[in-house]
Amino acid sequence: MSNMDVKDSDHQDYLKLYNLGGGAAKKITIELLLNKENVIQEKFVNFLPSKESYYLPINKEVFDEFESTIQNNGYETNLGIKLSYYHNVSRKKQIILLHGKLDNFNTYDEKVVYELQFIEK
């Protein structure tokens, strides 16, 4: 994701997710959560091969949370991501809950670059 400011005209309004379930995931549900329980965005993906990525479009509420975190000089966001999927081999439902963290990465051409990570907490 680059240029997360919603006022910037060349921002990219998606997250690129890689390797969901190691290629064995199907019936994937992606939920972006605010404060661990408020679902602010939900997306369904039927199947994602292991060498493919998925572009998850980002809505204004997600951008607002990033902007608020940056403006308050914070790195821990109130944003989380919940991935639910069925494993193609075991047929069991898997659920992963990760917490969003912003890191000030670098500054190029007077633009600050942040890295967004979703980590276990």
Answer yes or no: is 68 within a domain: yes
Residue 60, helix vs strand vs coil? helix
Answer yes or no: is 46 within a domain: yes
Give pLDDT tens digits along the chain (121 positions).
444 444 554 556 788 777 666 667 888 899 999 998 899 999 998 876 667 777 888 888 888 888 888 888 777 788 899 999 898 788 899 899 999 888 877 777 777 777 788 888 7
CA 57 to CA 46: how far, in whole Å? 16
Q: Which domain holds residue 93?
A: 14-119
CATH of the domain at 76: 2.60.40
Answer yes or no: is 55 within a domain: yes
Which tokens is 108 given?
Answer: 């190029």
